[in-house]
Amino acid sequence: MGITVKIVDVSGAGRVGTTTLLEGVSSRITLRDLVRTRVREEVARFNAAPQPVFRGLVMPEGGLPTAEGFRLLEQRRLDWERQADRAIEAFGRNGFFVLVDDRQVTELDEQLELTADSDIRFVRLVQLVGG
């Protein structure tokens, strides 16, 4: 049985954006698995109630960046694995970084020790056009 953690998205300028609760997360998890879990959940929520704008970590293929997220040129279901791969690639290109309890996590395979009180922040350095 996992824990519920809160993830906060922050712009490079420090503006707080979306806050997401992830349930059932292992208290010991790699950053890679945390990113993939986050993306899987946001895609599942989007696919359950599609909207013209996807408010996720990275832009889906065929999307356009907007102030609210990423506008899809055609309404469709998203593939969470493809989105997760795009997010992992974006991390490797410094498209975003992750802070856990005010400490920057620099390696995708680093083992994290999370609690329900952990402060997890995804900081976007640039608009993630193309992933």
Q: How many residues does the chain have?
A: 131
Query: Strand 70-72's sheet: what is its strand order?
Result: 53-54, 70-72, 63-65
**Contact of 63 with 73, CB cutoff 8 Å:** yes
Residue 70 lies in a domain: yes
Q: What is the pLDDT of residues 70-85, one digit of tens each?
A: 999 888 999 999 999 9
Residue 131 lies in a domain: no
Q: What is the pLDDT of residues 13-46, one digit of tens each?
A: 777 888 999 999 999 999 999 999 999 999 999 9
Residue 21 lies in a domain: yes
Which range marks the domain in which residue 106 is found?
2-124
Cα–Cα dist 101/99, whole Å: 6
CATH number of the CATH domain containing 11? 3.10.20
Could you tell me the pTM of the whole model?
Answer: 0.90
The total domain count for the chain is: 1
Residue 101 lies in a domain: yes
